[in-house]
Structure 1
Amino acid sequence: MFPKFLKMKKKKTDRAEIQEIEDLQPFQNQSLHNDLTRNMETIKSEMGNSHDVIIREFQVAGKIRAAAAFTDGLCDQKTLSDFVMESLMRFQDDAFNMDPDIDAEQAFQIIKEQLLTSGDVKEVSNWKHLFLGMLSGDSVLLFNGCNKAMAVATRGGENRGVTEPSTQTVIRGPKEAFSESIRTNTSLIRRKIRSPKLWLEERIIGDVTLTQVGVMYIKGIANDGIVQEVRNRLGRIKIDGILESGYIEDLIQDGIWTPFPTVFNSERPDVIAAGLLEGRVAVLVDGTPFVLLVPVMFNSFLQAAEDYYQRFDFGNFLRILRFVSLLIALLLPSLYVAVSTYHQEMLPTTLMLHLAAQREGVPFPPIIEAFMMEIAFEVLREAGVRMPSAVGNTISIVGALVIGQAAVEAGIVSPAMVIVVSFTAITNFVIPSISLAIAIRLLRFGILILAGTLGMYGIAVGLLLLVLHLSSLRSFGVPYLKPFAPFMLKEQKDALFRFPFWAMKTHPLPISEDFMQQGHDQKPNHPPGDKPRHDE
């Protein structure tokens, strides 16, 4: 009875909240009042007389009552004082002095066109845009007798500066990463691509948070159909709040019931700029340093920015190493369980006898042994991430050594299983994308179950199902396994291997609209680390 009461109460609360939001929508679309005092009282009441909302009343040219409303902490008060308040309060103009009957509308235009020195001034006609400007850091100027206001760009406050990437580090390459400010992030991308064809569209998503979301692409390189599809999917989002780009990623991705990511994310401006040059579309979200990139293919998650900054032969070696590490991270525990349980004849006799001697005192079958060790390593990995950085690495390393050694001495697991699980965990860290690494960690348990029940046949069935699943995935209409399935010979120049820059002359075929060659018949002498130009 009590749980039912709680459930019914929650339903009533939800309905009340929905009704409150519906009642708020007409108010937000209403125009401002002509009376300044009434406008100021409305701002104070709607924001609950919050102490960080400041309203400064003053007079323009000693005649027109005005007020500046802004949010403390979001607004740069020095900019407001030097470029707005001082100009308005000390303003003397013949148009005001000679015409004593000048109305508020005329004064509004004179102030906007002749007085304000700020670079960005927008007219505000309803309450929705007024509160959005105030809560974004702008200063809103209201005038008595005028039902319009001005939103002056005075955004400031405390922001995290441009720092080094924490998740996608490189030895050679740019050492800058995105921050939580969307305007800082767009500027970092424009520093990489100084082209007027780099277009930016912005919209507000989230009924409560009113989060600023930007769509960035290069006109003429990005496919118009994909750009429109991004617009449509963003336009269909109905949610109260967007706190991180992961919300957007979950709402616009293609594959819902799949562990594989179909949207790429990065905190490196050079990676996003390279994706834009290939015809992809970037989605930026205010409040997070991770920018989304669509469409994306499977092999993109195994490519690192440093592949293009080193010599192509060494970059190819590292890329092949990642593909091999991916297979090891996915299959090594399963192969050990299958061989030690069903296919001992596949091992040399000496090695088979040695492994059998190690497992003589172990009470569990290999499948249970592997599951226990895998879960223990996952717990240690998560503990190292969640604990304070000063002790997180120490606890994870010491915990792994102590638990592994103690488990072997207690006869719970064999030493070979500790080696297999440890090496699997190390190869998982070689994968550059955390999203793909998490998917491999999840799939490893499923293939482990198949190996423990059916042996090598189970692993073969698991791999077959995995390939079929990957072949069915799409990312904004682009095949997930492209250019392997469907196989495209021309696109192999930057798939499993990376050809020299002078050999990569076209954009990716399924993404870009124009397949114009760069116009180089000769092999150009590109400086090491330069990326091929796509606009020649």
Structure 2
Amino acid sequence: MKKNAQKTLTPLSSSLKANTDAIRSRFGGSFDLVVRLFRSDAAPSRELAIIYIDGIVDAETVNVSVMEPLMSMTLPPHAHTKGTKLLDALRSCIVSVGSVGESATLEEALQAVSDGSCLVLAEGCTSVLTASVNGGEQRSVTIPQTQTVIRGPQYSFVENIRTNISLVRRIIRSSDLHVQMHKIGSQTHTDVAVLYLNGIVDEGVLKEVYRRLADIDIDGVLESGYIEEFIQDETFTLFPTVLNTERPDTVASILLEGRVAIMVDGTPIALMAPITFFSFFQSPEDYYQRFDIATFIRVIRYAAFIVSILLPGLYIAVTTYHQEMLPTTLLISLAAQREGVPFPGLVEALLMEVTFEVLREAGLRMPRAIGPAISIVGALVLGQSAVQAGIVSAGMVIVVSFTAISNFVMPEFNMGAASRIIRFIFMLMAGMFGFFGLFISVLLMLVHLVSLRSFGVPYMSPMAPGSASQSIFRDVFIRLPWWAMIFRPFELKLRNPRRLPNRRKPAAQRHSDNP
């Protein structure tokens, strides 16, 4: 974390009372700060103390691995118990916690307590032991809430970063999986982990991730969205340039592709970079189903995205400016529906779209027991009532409904949210200029997409730059069989670009009918 000024560190005193009083004072006498003074057979002539915060430590571990050994065990005769060497003897012979460190300054001791460690202090010692006893109430691993699949792992990340890292390590059981920890936030000191596969990752991307994380200077990080806004390449764009997920298998898959994952303590959402535009249309289930089924579903996603951003604008442009493009029968039917509607097509579409967005937001914010019911009943009642009252036409209701359904097809929520905003822009341009405005809007969107980068990687690769014919077979539109996916993504400068040694389909075993 970038520092504005180097902080002055306060060394600990040799007086036990002075140290405990200083820690109590810095915590403002908080009621959950536990300070226990006692004497032990391990050092009967010297007073000891343990300090921890109740609620963020495992109380049983504190009692069994710290308190009981200190109270009941004695040091061997050869142990040196004079001066500060007492702490070395306690660490090597008494305290049985797996991770035990030592701090010599007040700031380090305070940070260790805030991180969920237990301090062991002794009279006459100018440093303290820090025993890692993290615990407390935590949410257990459950099924994914936002990225569900029919076939595949049915567990997701939780709010504990160490649990999340362990879930990834259970999938990638290799020493090449490296995890580098950072602390960001001058007040929260939030743990931020960077995961990558050594020997595969793009070294340039990895260095850029470290640089952007080091440049973050903020007082607190409460969710991975804080980090995302700091490290993304382009701020003023509707399209996300960092992918997020709550699924461990998704993180494992992008690590195997040579990308980098970023986890933030306190949130079940992990960040992944660099990514491309086409990454938002790929679901984890694409790689668990047969390749032909996955390809068919992926094409449907692209079609649904085009429908979600263009259909209302096309309807407005055709019905307002280009009626000659419609068959006569359809034109008469639409004209009959619009008879008596007091608003032009653009106002009618905006009214329906805004109403649907309000219903969607209400369904999300209402209690789960009644949220879906409110959305369904509201949509049906309002839509039917609006048509009967002559405020909107039935054709417009159909267009808005199909557009909303198409928006839900996309597997990534943030890309779906971007398409919702783009839809309004296209509607306004179509309402003012017809097909010409719609064409200009699409052209400007494509130019903007080509100009974007994600950690230096072109956002539209491998389509642009690259060969469109080859891009079809590079896991963009068509998901090839696993035995044919030899190379990892070409847009990354990977140290090991091959995931398979050669392109060879395993031969099927032939069974002879003869005995």
Q: Same fold (TM over 0.5)?
A: yes
Q: Which one of the candidate residues 64, 67, 71 is aligned to 1:89?
A: 71
Residue matched to 1:499: 480
How many pairs align? 501
Q: Which one of the candidate residues 48, 51, 64 is aligned to 2:46?
A: 64
The answer to whether structure 1 residue 283 and structure 2 residue 262 are counterparts is yes
Question: 1:515 Cα deviation (Å)?
Answer: 2.3
Checking the alignment, whether the CA contact within 8 Å between 1:431 and 1:437 is kept in structure 2 is yes
Question: 1:516 Cα deviation (Å)?
Answer: 3.7
Question: 1:523 Cα deviation (Å)?
Answer: 1.3
Deviations 1:473-501 (CA, angstroms, capped at 9, x unpaired): 00000000011111246553311110000
Question: 1:142 Cα deviation (Å)?
Answer: 1.1
The answer to whether structure 1 residue 42 and structure 2 residue 22 are counterparts is yes
Quote the Cα distance in structure 1 between the aligned partners of 2:423 and 2:495. Answer: 38
Question: 1:521 Cα deviation (Å)?
Answer: 4.6
Quote the Cα distance in structure 2 between the aligned partners of 1:419 and 1:333. Answer: 10
Checking the alignment, whether the CA contact within 8 Å between 1:493 and 1:503 is kept in structure 2 is no
How high is the TM-score relative to the length of structure 2? 0.95
1:292 is paired with a residue whose SS is: strand
Q: Which one of the candidate residues 108, 130, 133 is aligned to 1:151?
A: 130
Deviations 1:38-63 (CA, angstroms, capped at 9, x unpaired): 11111111111111000111223222
* Distance of aligned partners of 1:411 and 1:516 in 2 relative to their CA distance in 1, 3 Å threshold: closer
1:193 is paired with a residue whose SS is: coil
Question: 1:22 Cα deviation (Å)?
Answer: 9.2
Quote the Cα distance in structure 2 between the aligned partners of 1:322 and 1:203. Answer: 37
The answer to whether structure 1 residue 120 and structure 2 residue 99 are counterparts is yes
Quote the Cα distance in structure 2 between the aligned partners of 1:22 and 1:36. Answer: 33
Question: 1:517 Cα deviation (Å)?
Answer: 5.7
Question: 1:286 Cα deviation (Å)?
Answer: 0.2
Checking the alignment, whether the CA contact within 8 Å between 2:462 and 2:491 is kept in structure 1 is no
Residue matched to 2:501: 519
Q: Which amino acid aligns with 1:524?
A: P
Quote the Cα distance in structure 2 between the aligned partners of 1:421 and 1:438. Answer: 16
1:63 is paired with a residue whose SS is: strand
Quote the Cα distance in structure 2 between the aligned partners of 1:239 and 1:521. Answer: 49
Q: Which amino acid aligns with 2:31?
A: H
Q: Which amino acid aligns with 1:433?
A: E
Let me know the Cα RMSD of the aligned residues. 1.7
The answer to whether structure 1 residue 237 and structure 2 residue 216 are counterparts is yes
Residue matched to 1:377: 356
The answer to whether structure 1 residue 75 and structure 2 residue 57 are counterparts is yes
Question: 1:125 Cα deviation (Å)?
Answer: 1.8
Checking the alignment, whether the CA contact within 8 Å between 2:234 and 2:453 is kept in structure 1 is yes
Quote the Cα distance in structure 2 between the aligned partners of 1:431 and 1:128. Answer: 47
- Mapping 1:81-230, distance limit 5 Å: 81-95=63-77, 102-230=81-209
* Distance of aligned partners of 1:363 and 1:276 in 2 relative to their CA distance in 1, 3 Å threshold: same
Q: Which consecutive residues of structure 2, in runs of 5 or more, have no partner in the other structure?
A: 509-515
The answer to whether structure 1 residue 326 and structure 2 residue 305 are counterparts is yes
Q: Which amino acid aligns with 1:70?
A: Y
Q: Which amino acid aligns with 2:10?
A: Q
The answer to whether structure 1 residue 358 and structure 2 residue 340 are counterparts is no
Residue matched to 1:12: none
Question: 1:454 Cα deviation (Å)?
Answer: 1.0
Checking the alignment, whether the CA contact within 8 Å between 1:104 and 1:143 is kept in structure 2 is no
Residue matched to 1:472: 451
Deviations 1:164-218 (CA, angstroms, capped at 9, x unpaired): 0000000110000000000000000001100101000001100111111000000
Question: 1:24 Cα deviation (Å)?
Answer: 11
Question: 1:520 Cα deviation (Å)?
Answer: 3.1
Checking the alignment, whether the CA contact within 8 Å between 1:76 and 1:157 is kept in structure 2 is yes
Residue matched to 2:466: 487
How high is the TM-score relative to the length of structure 1? 0.91
The answer to whether structure 1 residue 509 and structure 2 residue 494 are counterparts is no
Percentage identity across paired residues of the two chains: 47
Residue matched to 1:256: 235
Q: Which amino acid aligns with 1:493?
A: R
Q: Which amino acid aligns with 1:42?
A: A
Quote the Cα distance in structure 2 between the aligned partners of 1:47 and 1:95. Answer: 38
Q: Which amino acid aligns with 2:55?
A: G
Question: 1:144 Cα deviation (Å)?
Answer: 1.2
Q: Which amino acid aligns with 2:62?
A: L
The answer to whether structure 1 residue 55 and structure 2 residue 35 are counterparts is yes
Checking the alignment, whether the CA contact within 8 Å between 2:462 and 2:490 is kept in structure 1 is no
Question: 1:116 Cα deviation (Å)?
Answer: 1.8
Farther off after superposition, 160-169 or 30-39: 30-39
Question: 1:114 Cα deviation (Å)?
Answer: 2.1
Q: Which consecutive residues of structure 1, in runs of 5 or more, have no partner in the other structure?
A: 1-20, 527-536
Farther off after superposition, 111-120 or 87-96: 87-96
Question: 1:112 Cα deviation (Å)?
Answer: 1.2
Question: 1:510 Cα deviation (Å)?
Answer: 2.5
* Distance of aligned partners of 1:296 and 1:521 in 2 relative to their CA distance in 1, 3 Å threshold: closer
Question: 1:96 Cα deviation (Å)?
Answer: 7.3
Q: Which one of the candidate residues 184, 208, 226 is aligned to 1:247?
A: 226
Checking the alignment, whether the CA contact within 8 Å between 1:161 and 1:179 is kept in structure 2 is yes
Quote the Cα distance in structure 2 between the aligned partners of 1:74 and 1:426. Answer: 44
Residue matched to 1:395: 374
Checking the alignment, whether the CA contact within 8 Å between 2:474 and 2:489 is kept in structure 1 is no
Q: Which amino acid aligns with 2:482?
A: F
Question: 1:133 Cα deviation (Å)?
Answer: 1.6
Question: 1:518 Cα deviation (Å)?
Answer: 2.2
2:464 is paired with a residue whose SS is: coil
2:170 is paired with a residue whose SS is: helix
* Distance of aligned partners of 1:525 and 1:106 in 2 relative to their CA distance in 1, 3 Å threshold: farther
Q: Which amino acid aligns with 2:371?
A: G
Bigger helix share: 1
